[in-house]
Amino acid sequence: MRVLLTYFGAFEGVPVNPTDRLAHAVHAHCEEHPEWAVEVILQELPVVFGESARRLNETIAAETPDAVIALGVAVGRNKVSLERVAINLDDARIADTEGIQRKDSPIVADAPAAYFSTLPTRAVVEKAQALNLPAELSYTAGTYVCNHVFYSLMHAVAGTTIPAGFIHVPALEFETGPQNQLVAHVDAGGVEGTAIPTISVEEAKQIITLAILEISER
């Protein structure tokens, strides 16, 4: 099975995006287990409205994956969140990395108001929780570029049998410290407040791997 795993670079308030390191850790982990018969294809997406969707669609067309998982960071959350619903709306207080700010803008004109993830979200969360891993179901991916990619992904695979969806991760432990101040943005799916919880890269890697293996088993 060929799984496309996308991740993001830095954006306002997130000078080092944990999805980069996490995606590469998952890729290496799957390579260490050839018996899983899983090939992970990595693709970084820009934190830019429009361009992120274009890059995603190009990669899907070029790689023809059997499944797609998009990763994003939600600073302030304390669990890996398997998102269930993508909405057809760009609306954020912060601009993307090219200075584009969108308010009350549809992502795709004359398209459905929302799409549901086709990943086995509940099964993955229940298996992760049984292993005491920090995972949850989420019903909001925000209205920033994460949701933009999530909605664009589901629109791209609509009518196909390709399992696809979006997973938010909290800040990871390597990001903490005064040299790397993180800022939570509710528009980006984060939880605004004074505390910034973290989980380990290992915990996050195990949950994403669980998702991949659950898809493979199905």
Q: Could you give the residue ranges of the DSSP H alpha helices within the chain?
A: 18-31, 51-63, 121-130, 145-157, 201-217
CATH number at residue 73: 3.40.630.20
Mean pLDDT of 56-83: 97
User: Which is higher by pLDDT, 205 or 175?
Assistant: 205
pLDDT value of position 181: 76
- Listed in sequence order, the residues at least 6 apart from 61 whose beta carbon sits closer than 8 Å to its beta carbon are none
Residue 104 burial (10 A CB sphere; 0-12, 13-18, 19+): exposed
CA distance 136 to 177: 26
pLDDT at residue 3 is higher than 90: yes
CA distance 75 to 190: 5
Per-residue pLDDT band at 175 (split at 50, 70, 90): low
Q: How many domains does the chain have?
A: 1
Nearest to 68 by CA among 150, 175, 188: 150
Nearest to 148 by CA among 214, 72, 89: 89
Percentage of the chain lying above the pLDDT 90 cut = 88
pLDDT at residue 182 is higher than 90: no
Mean pLDDT of 90-116: 96
Mean pLDDT of 139-166: 97
Say whether 30 is catalytic. Answer: no
Of 146, 196, 207, 215, catalytic:
146
pTM, two decimals, is 0.95
Nearest to 52 by CA among 44, 41, 60, 64: 44
Q: Identify the domain containing residue 9 by its residue range.
A: 2-217
Percentage of the chain lying above the pLDDT 70 cut = 97
Mean pLDDT across the chain, nearest whole number? 94
In this structure, what token pair is assigned to residue 213? Answer: 């293996």
Mean pLDDT of 110-121: 98
Per-residue pLDDT band at 178 (split at 50, 70, 90): very low
Mean pLDDT of 161-179: 82
- Weakest-pLDDT range from 79-93, 111-125, 168-182: 168-182
Nearest to 77 by CA among 212, 176, 172, 196: 196
CA distance 58 to 194: 39
